[in-house]
Amino acid sequence: MTSPAKIAAPPDGSAFFAGKPLGEIEWLGTARVRALEKFGITTVLDLLTHLPHRHEDRRQFDSFPRDESPKAVCVCGIVAKTNSRWFGGGRKMFDVVLQEENGHALSGTLICRWFNAHYVQKKIAVGQKLIIYGKPKRVGKQIVIDHPEFEEVDPEADGQQGEHQTPHLRRITPIHPATAGISARDLRGWIYRLLAETSSLAASVLLGPLPAGLATMRHFDALRAMHFPESWETLNAAKRELILGEFFEMQLVIASRRAEATAQPGQAHCGSGALLTAFQGQLPFPLTGAQSRVIDEIRHDLAASRPMNRMLHGDVGSGKTVVALSAMLLAVEAGAQAALMAPTQILAEQHYLNFKRWLEPLGVRIALRTGSRQEESAPLPLFGGSSEDAAPQIIVGTHALLYGEEFERLGLAVIDEQHKFGVLQRAALLRGAVAPDVLVMTATPIPRTLTMTLYGDLDVSMLDELPAGRGKIVTAARDESKLPDAVAFIKKHLDVGRQAYVVYPLIDESAKTEAKAAAAEFEKWQKQFAPHRCELLHGRVAPEEKDAIMERFRRNESQVLIATTVIEVGIDVANANIMLIENAERFGLAQLHQLRGRIGRGSHKSYCILIHAADTPEGLEKMQTMEATSNGFEIAEADLRLRGPGDLLGTAQSGLPPLKIGDPIADADLMRLARQAATELFATDPELAAPENRRFRSLLAARRQVTLAT
């Protein structure tokens, strides 16, 4: 086996060049190196992979615009006049008259304006040649571009007559994201020079090129073309290559996780189903088709000796708990222990109470383990074996379970609302000699196209059907002036016996301010809803008190629960059919959807009132989306549109490499290719799957490919 230490640098030593700190590049100089560092760019490779966000075709500039256009233009002209003047409120406007250079004759003008941009004024002077990029609009008789991007053409460096090559002109020119003190022109020049000085092999090793079957060009050539393409076609091909590279690396990590999980020896944990049948027989409702299907999928996994590694994906209210419990009962019947982990104390408690109610009559021993409470049920000894055998069969808890409890025969671990946990904790479960079966459940609406990225290391089951007989949820977004109407509306429903949630955002999470803000909130609402009883729930309420509050709300001893997002996940009280969310614009779409999932659980029609002060197009779209749909997947798509995939992927939290240029939605077909290639690599080369190779795995893969290619 190749040990990591044996990964050799290419013979010319240039791998060291690509990985070099920029400080060692003499011609850059300390000041620039420091500025780049502030920008998060510290090595040669960082700079080489600082990719342009767009390109300008400077082989042929656009002619000066004669009218406004929604499309940006890129023109080149001579500064004929500059002017700066004050206008209302101490603000300053700087404008430049640019003249078109048509052969040798001057024709056509364009006005460029900057407001309160002192630095621009210092940079532009009459007689300069400027490249301008921006959207033209008509102001009176003139054509104007406000705040265009601009760059001076330096006649010395850029070679007026085109007698020498320059990175800046007469080509499809990259525009790199710039920052204070570093212009796009600076970056372009430095990257141009570095590309010339870096050996292709060196960069390829560090970038991790693609398996031969996927690659259409040498990886380093793709990087070069991404900055300085010869044609738009080359640019597209280069982009594809780099995206594939990025996706491939991500899929390698995912494939390695999968390989690691399945390489562990497992055990079959599946009973005959007698206990399951007894349980389902006493449920007050029939299972949905989706629930039955998913239980079958899980049963299949449990009966196999390889460890189950499955994700159950179902929108809020789709009935994941019953599925989880069914799986647990199959494991229990096979003589194993089953554990369920919930992200919050409140939720663990709720699961425990439900399980106790459903399972005590069947003689199953259940235990609750949270940071502050340990409790054991005392069932009739029917199925549970002899009563001396006191070990609990089902253990419900918070994540404290992962670290504290020594399970004797843990056969199945269920992780509820897995997005609240992250990856590391899931891994902690898998440390024993025999891996338990693992089922992770989530309601985070993730577009289907993303599941193979985020959860590519898991098998996925979908609960894509809500139980019948659910009341409809009507959602209304209203501005703050409508709050009194909303309160009156809620009171009407309280008067006929319903319950309500009021959710307010947490502005400051320090203990002191939270308690104070909460007290103020409480005062305000208690007055409005009197004589109905309000209770207050937030992160700083002591755990036992939280349980007591939830219990009273469940029993309808209190009618309004005033809460922060601690109620976001899992809470299930069917009689509560109204939710009012204050400052709704401060929550994300996914979070609003989760919150709203607390209602619409009984047969009554439910109402979600979003009181908001949204004043941006995004904020308003968020509110409209909530009003228009309660379908988790539609919400997820809208969320993706509004926030981009970065947030949703949460790569930092998921432990996956960040994506610099690929978009897992737009480039889903490339993701599929990358996934296939990564899976194949692991199938044909199990050595790569060894855990000790973890950090070097992608490098190893890369090196193999380089060896093949050279």
Q: How far apart are CA 272 and CA 573, in angstroms?
A: 33
Contact stretch for ligand ADP (CB under 6 A) within 109-117, 314-322, 404-412, 508-516: 314-322
Place of tokens 């007689």: 127
Min separation Cβ 536 and ligand ADP, Å:
23
* Residue sitting closest to ligand ADP (CB): 319
Closest CA to 150 of 132, 124, 177: 132
Nearer to ligand ADP, 236 or 282 (CB): 282
Q: How far apart are CA 100 and CA 80, in angstroms?
A: 10
Min separation Cβ 370 and ligand ADP, Å:
18
Q: Residue 410: in which H helix or E strand, if any?
A: strand 410-415
Nearer to Mg ion, 64 or 352 (CB): 352
> Of 464-483, which residues contact ligand ADP (CB under 6 A)?
467
One character per residue 566-605, x = contact with Mg ion (rule: CB under 5 A): ----x-----------------------------------
Query: CA 626 → CA 477, 579, 588, 630, 644, distances in Å?
Result: 8, 13, 11, 7, 18
Out of ligand ADP, Mg ion, none, which partner does residue 436 contact, by CB within 5 to 8 A per kind? Answer: none
- For 315, counting Cβ atoms within 10 Å of its Cβ (0-12 exposed, 13-18 middle, 19+ buried), the class is buried
Out of ligand ADP, Mg ion, none, which partner does residue 589 contact, by CB within 5 to 8 A per kind? Answer: none
Contact stretch for ligand ADP (CB under 6 A) within 115-123, 244-252, 315-323, 506-514: 315-323
> Of 571-600, which residues contact ligand ADP (CB under 6 A)?
572
Nearer to Mg ion, 48 or 347 (CB): 347
Nearer to ligand ADP, 188 or 601 (CB): 601
Residue 312, classed as helix, strand or coil, is: strand
Out of Mg ion, ligand ADP, none, which partner does residue 601 contact, by CB within 5 to 8 A per kind? Answer: ligand ADP
Beta bridge partners of 637: none
Phi, psi of 314 (to 5 degrees): -155, 140
One character per residue 597-626, x = contact with ligand ADP (rule: CB under 6 A): ----x-------------------------
* Residue sitting closest to Mg ion (CB): 570
Out of Mg ion, ligand ADP, none, which partner does residue 318 contact, by CB within 5 to 8 A per kind? Answer: ligand ADP
Nearer to Mg ion, 110 or 413 (CB): 413
Q: Does 670 bind ligand ADP (CB under 6 A)?
A: no
> For residue 465, how far is the Cα from the chain centroid?
25
Q: How many CB atoms lie within 10 A of CB 480?
A: 11
> For residue 327, how far is the Cα from the chain centroid?
29
Rg (the chain; Cα; Å)? 31
Contact stretch for ligand ADP (CB under 6 A) within 74-82, 284-292, 610-618, 622-630: 284-292
Do you find a cis peptide bond into 531, omega within 30 degrees of 0?
Answer: yes
> Of 516-575, which residues contact Mg ion (CB under 5 A)?
570
Q: Does 632 bind ligand ADP (CB under 6 A)?
A: no
Token pair recorded at residue 18: 């690509």
How many residues line the site for ligand ADP (CB under 6 A)? 16
Candidate list 288, 345, 418, 499; residue touching ligand ADP; CB under 6 A: 288
CB 28 within 8 A of CB 190: yes
Token pair recorded at residue 586: 């401060």
Q: Does 456 bind Mg ion (CB under 5 A)?
A: no
Nearer to ligand ADP, 467 or 539 (CB): 467
Q: What value, to the nearest 5°, has the Cα angle with vertex 353 and ends 347 and 356?
A: 135
CB 19 within 8 A of CB 207: no
Min separation Cβ 569 and ligand ADP, Å:
8
Candidate list 173, 204, 318, 326; residue touching ligand ADP; CB under 6 A: 318
Phi-psi region of 523 (alpha: psi -120 to 50; beta: other; left: phi over 0): alpha
One character per residue 313-342, x = contact with Mg ion (rule: CB under 5 A): ------------------------------
Token pair recorded at residue 592: 């609003």
Q: Does 49 bind ligand ADP (CB under 6 A)?
A: no
Q: Does 319 bind ligand ADP (CB under 6 A)?
A: yes
Nearer to ligand ADP, 16 or 285 (CB): 285
- Helix and strand numbers, DSSP H then E, in the chain: 26, 23
Q: How far apart are CA 708 and CA 685, in angstroms?
A: 15
DSSP assignment of 519-553 equals HHHHHHHHHHHTTS-EEEE-TTS-HHHHHHHHHHH
Candidate list 52, 317, 392, 436; residue touching ligand ADP; CB under 6 A: 317
Min separation Cβ 460 and ligand ADP, Å:
15
Q: Does 443 bind ligand ADP (CB under 6 A)?
A: yes
Q: Does 631 bind ligand ADP (CB under 6 A)?
A: no
> For residue 343, how far is the Cα from the chain centroid?
18
Q: Name the amino acid, one letter, at 414.
A: V
Which residues contact Mg ion by CB under 5 A?
570
Which residues of this protein are in contact with ligand ADP, per CB under 6 A?
285, 287-288, 291, 314, 316-322, 443, 467, 572, 601
